Amino acid sequence: MKNIFFAIAFLYSSFLIGQNGVSPNKAVTPPEIVVFAFQKEYPGKVPVWTMEYVGDDDDEIRYEAKYTTDKKTKALAVYDNLGVLKAYELQIPLSQLPQKAQTYLKKNYPTNAVKEIAVVVDDKNKTTYEVGIQKDSKFYDVVFDKNGGFDVIVEKD
């Protein structure tokens, strides 16, 4: 009986230990090289850091620094574990979206469907615009190229 109790206790404790992994959306402290790269690029900004696994096998780590550029404009800088900037995303108003993209949105979506708009610059200096749309209780990113031409729509979690 004593052995059965110990076996059950051991089994339960191993499940508890397995639950102590890092949550991808929980605030983290990135490596010093990542923090240094952020501070060099955006001096005086105070970010909230999160970590995400990306890649085909979720084997690459990305550190995301969320911060505000002024009183309420949100920005996001994404770094790899070596401190290389992989993407920069800045929230913008609808008026800063290229006219071609504005026309597309007005034609295809009601005004209240648009939830957020951002300009995104990746590590290859390619600029795109991402518009967050709420439709049929699902969230989508409608992506436009730098000239406002429709590129793709992606369902988000």
Pick the closest to residue 95 from 127, 62, 129 (CA basis). Answer: 129
pLDDT at 26: 74
How many domains are contained in the chain? 2
CB 129 within 8 A of CB 140: no
Residues 24 and 77 grouped into a single domain: yes
pLDDT at 20: 47
CA 78 to chain CA centroid, Å, is 8
Say which CATH number the domain at 108 has. Answer: 3.10.450.360
The whole domain housing 153 covers: 92-157
Residues 74 and 131 grouped into a single domain: no
Residues 78 and 109 grouped into a single domain: no
CA 109 to chain CA centroid, Å, is 24
Query: Considering the domain boundaries, does residue 1 fall inside one?
Result: no
Per-residue pLDDT of the chain (157 residues; tens, 9 = 90+): 655 554 455 555 555 555 445 455 678 999 999 999 999 999 999 999 999 998 888 889 999 999 998 878 999 999 999 999 999 999 999 999 999 999 999 999 998 899 999 999 999 999 999 999 998 889 999 999 999 999 999 998 7
Domain boundary among the residues 39, 58, 83 is at 83
List, in sequence order, every beta strand (DSSP E) within 1-149.
48-54, 60-68, 74-80, 85-91, 114-122, 127-135, 138-145
d(CA 115, CA 102): 14
Query: Considering the domain boundaries, does residue 38 fall inside one?
Result: yes
